[in-house]
Amino acid sequence: MRDVRVSLVGYGIVGHGVVEVLNRKKKVLREMGLDLKLVSVTDHTGTVFSEEGINAEKILGERTLQNVATSSMKGKEAIIAIDSDLVVEVTPTNIVHGQPGLGHMEAALSSGKHVVTSNKGPLVVAYSNLRKLAEDNGVMLKFEATVGGVMPLISLVERTLVGNTIYGIRGIFNGTCNYILTRMAEEGIPYTHALSEAQDLGIAEADPSYDVEGVDTAGKVVILANSLFDMNVKYSDMNVTGITGVTSEALALAKKRGYVIKLIGDVPALTVRPTLVPIGSPIAVAGTLNSAAIYTDISGTITVTGLGAGSIETASAILSDIISIYRTKRIDAIF
């Protein structure tokens, strides 16, 4: 049995999902020989710590840790002080300066802890530094959940398609934009109506600009470019157009010709823009789904689709990364 002590930093929607999934999958993981023990959870109000593993039921009902914290430690302080093997970083993202996640990841990697994250900001801002820090400390940095939600995109490219040359990746990386464009096309309604509907359903934020201006998609393209294509690009290298200028007339015209309009991110083109996609194309998925077509030399084009967001779904991508760390840890010894 492999014992792994996990610290969780960030206790918002995704953090709650992580606690729930680790709890729900405890038995299955033990049957595989992996004993994941959640020893601490930290948010902006403090830390819950338990040497024996935190009882999920005791904290899942709490929106923050304010009433259950066993220590006032926060952020880096908690990460360094607590004896754990792996840090799951899921604090709110900021793709301009990457904080507070960037500092958290640096602290974790520097103290020899693996990092698994759904937090795009630090990777957009400082991928190569974080990567180097992980290598220097002999630990892993895994971030499948930052790109396209539950689509196992990075794992597909790095593991299953490992013998392939990857020419490019194109797809839908933002469920909010996809929902709005899908509704506009289906109902012939204008952008503002579809946005309001998405906001009412909790699919779009009150301030939707991060999604609808293409910022979120562009951040994901930067992460893919740096991690899978070794491109060393910054956000400012991206050419980005969001969906606010797409009209229902354009969508109707496209439909008549057998197309849909989708917000497509493209590596290595480093573009995000509304794009005509043939109906029936594997990336032309509807609703809040994400999709990614991977263009390869010997496997042709492989496309994968999945939910772009969701608390449990994002947590499942995090769990998959955690498992892969302990599954692949000794691969270097073989290859």
Shortest distance, CB of residue 102 to a copy of itself, whole angstroms? 27
Cα separation, 218 vs 211, whole angstroms: 10
Q: Looking at 25-88, list the stretches that DSSP marks H as alpha helix, in order from N- to C-terminal side.
A: 26-31, 56-60, 75-81
Choose among 184, 176, 303, 306: nearest CA to 246.
184
Nearer to a copy of itself, 244 or 311 (CB): 311
Choose among 64, 77, 19, 70: nearest CA to 47.
70
The SS3 call for residue 68 is: coil
Q: Which of 37, 220, 255, 329 is catalytic?
A: 220
Nearer to a copy of itself, 77 or 158 (CB): 158
Residue 220 annotated among the catalytic residues of the structure: yes
Q: Which long-range contacts (CB under 8 A, 24 or more apart) does 277-282 make?
A: 279/255
Nearer to a copy of itself, 20 or 213 (CB): 20
List of residues 6+ apart from 125 with CB closer than 8 A: 95, 96, 97, 98, 102, 235
Shortest distance, CB of residue 4 to a copy of itself, whole angstroms? 11
Cα separation, 127 vs 237, whole angstroms: 15
Nearer to a copy of itself, 29 or 222 (CB): 29
Shortest distance, CB of residue 161 to a copy of itself, whole angstroms? 7
CA angle (138 as vertex; 134, 139 as ends), nearest 5: 55
Nearer to a copy of itself, 163 or 236 (CB): 163
| Residue 274 contacts residue 184 (beta carbons within 8 Å) | no
Nearer to a copy of itself, 229 or 235 (CB): 229
C-alpha to C-alpha distances, 147 to 19, 308, 318, nearest whole angstrom: 21, 9, 11
Shortest distance, CB of residue 211 to a copy of itself, whole angstroms? 20
User: Does residue 190 have a cis peptide bond before it, meaning omega lies within 30 degrees of 0?
Assistant: no
Shortest distance, CB of residue 175 to a copy of itself, whole angstroms? 12
Shortest distance, CB of residue 194 to a copy of itself, whole angstroms? 16
- Binding residues for a copy of itself (CB under 8 A): 2, 21, 24-25, 28-29, 32-34, 150-152, 155-156, 159-165, 182, 260, 279-282, 284-287, 289, 291, 296, 298-307, 310, 312-313, 315-317, 319-320, 323-324, 326-331, 333-335
Residue type, 255: K
Catalytic residue positions? 220
